[in-house]
Amino acid sequence: MKKFLISFIAFLVLLSTSVCANAHGWRGGYGGGWRGGWAPFAAGAVVGAVVAHSYYRPAPIYYGPPAYYYPPQNVAAFCPENGLYYPQTQACPSGWQRVITN
């Protein structure tokens, strides 16, 4: 809806500047020419900049939730049946025991 409204306003501004430029009519004949000045071109440039800005706006930046830092816990897995910790043995039939190390 916003883009349509901006485009419609731009159309009305361009239409009004062209009507104002042609208000004095064509100074016809073989030696005459259009003497509308620079106003319609300036208005067109301004309206063009507004329309281009409305269509080519940069994407919004979204920030994620803050990352919380959890220090590594000193926990190891101990197998009481083998008497070994996890890296030394891969299986523990009786179940692993968590041990807090310092």
The answer to whether position 97 is within a domain reads yes
- SS3 call for 99: strand
The confidence score (pLDDT) of residue 66 equals 75
Residue 51, Cβ density class (10 Å: 0-12 exposed, 13-18 middle, ≥19 buried) = middle
Q: Is residue 28 in a domain?
A: no
Asked if residue 51 belongs to a domain, the reply is yes
How far is the C-alpha of 6 from the C-alpha of 72, rounded, in Å? 55
Give pLDDT < 70 ranges for the chain. 1, 15-36, 69-71
66 is a domain residue? no
The total domain count for the chain is 2
1 and 51 inside one domain: yes
**pLDDT in the model for residue 28:** 53
Q: Which residues contact 35 (CB under 8 A, 6 or more apart)?
A: 24, 27
Range of the domain at 7: 1-22+38-58
Residue 27 lies in a domain: no
Question: Does residue 98 belong to any structural domain of this protein?
Answer: yes
Distance, in Å, from the CA atom of 71 to the CA atom of 79, rounded to the nearest integer, reads 25
